[in-house]
Structure 1
């Protein structure tokens, strides 16, 4: 990997933008944890998130299911033919 002009190691522009956007929008608890480098903190957060998404056993206490619409349970028919409206 080579260093880019901004110091990032071999990241494409889309990934750099993703990291920068995440660094600008750290959650309050992430800010309170303190960091001298919000960009590095965002990069670590995204790396962990990506690992959890693509490696199912990376976080044994969580489980991410992937289903298509065809694999879900169809909704039960409603006895009331009127459309549902959100509560007031």
Structure 2
């Protein structure tokens, strides 16, 4: 397991996509980016353990 997303990755992900802007304002884009990246890393580190909870993870 890693220590979490780097500060650079969080800053880059905090730059919201056009679709995210259209959905409305973000209260704290950096906190949102941190949470998104941590969840993504968890799915990557434990793909089989998170597969049942994550609809984006392909089946066997």
Change (3 A) 1:48 1:26: farther
Task: Specify every segment of 5 or more residues in structure 1 that has no aligned partner in the other structure, as ranges.
Answer: 1-10, 66-88
Higher relative contact order (Cα pairs below 8 Å, separated by 6+ residues): 2
Q: Calculate the aligned-residue CA RMSD, in Å.
A: 2.8
Task: Specify every segment of 5 or more residues in structure 2 that has no aligned partner in the other structure, as ranges.
Answer: none
Q: State the aligned residue count.
A: 52
Higher helix residue share: 2
1:58 Cα deviation from its structure 2 partner: 1.3
TM-score by length of 2: 0.63
TM-score by length of 1: 0.46
- Pick the structure with greater CA Rg: 1
Structure 1 residue runs of 4+, over 4 Å off?
Answer: none
